[in-house]
């Protein structure tokens, strides 16, 4: 898949400082985006754990996962009950 081309418009002072700190290179931008995406996935995971904590029995009853992970679900339930 071809990489999309992105045009970015920044205020002059931000652009100068970002360029001086080598933040506008494709590698740096990729790293920044990957870090943000990873952080959002972690946030989504915590939101799911919060939902699970509000009603663990209902949530656990609807979980679909490989059978190899089922033993882990009990551990997750206990951790939620302990509020760890």
Number of domains present in the structure of the chain: 1
Inside any domain, residue 47 = no
Inside any domain, residue 3 = no
Inside any domain, residue 82 = yes
Which pLDDT score, from 0 to 100, does residue 82 have? Answer: 67
Inside any domain, residue 68 = yes
Integer Cα distance of 44 and 41 in angstroms = 5
Domain membership of residue 77 as a residue range = 55-84
Question: Which 8-state DSSP code applies to residue 4?
Answer: P
Which pLDDT score, from 0 to 100, does residue 69 have? Answer: 65
Cβ proximity of 22 and 32 under 8 Å: no
pTM score, whole prediction: 0.57
* Token pair 């290179």 in the structure block, residue: 25
Cβ proximity of 83 and 54 under 8 Å: no
Inside any domain, residue 19 = no
CA distances (Å), origin 76, targets 33, 45, 64? 30, 13, 14
Question: Which 8-state DSSP code applies to residue 23?
Answer: -
Model confidence pLDDT, tens digit, residues 17-58? 999 999 999 999 999 999 999 888 888 877 777 777 777 666
* Token pair 């699970």 in the structure block, residue: 52
Inside any domain, residue 6 = no
Model confidence pLDDT, tens digit, residues 57-69? 665 555 566 666 6
């Amino acid at each position: 898949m071809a990489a999309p081309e992105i045009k970015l418009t920044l205020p002059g002072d931000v652009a100068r400082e970002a360029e001086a700190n080598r933040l506008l290179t494709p590698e740096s931008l990729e790293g920044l985006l990957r870090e943000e995406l990873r952080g959002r996935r972690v946030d989504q995971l915590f939101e799911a754990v919060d939902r699970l904590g509000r009603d663990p029995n209902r949530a656990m009853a609807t979980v679909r996962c490989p059978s190899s992970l089922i033993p882990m679900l009990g551990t997750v339930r206990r951790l939620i009950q302990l509020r760890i």
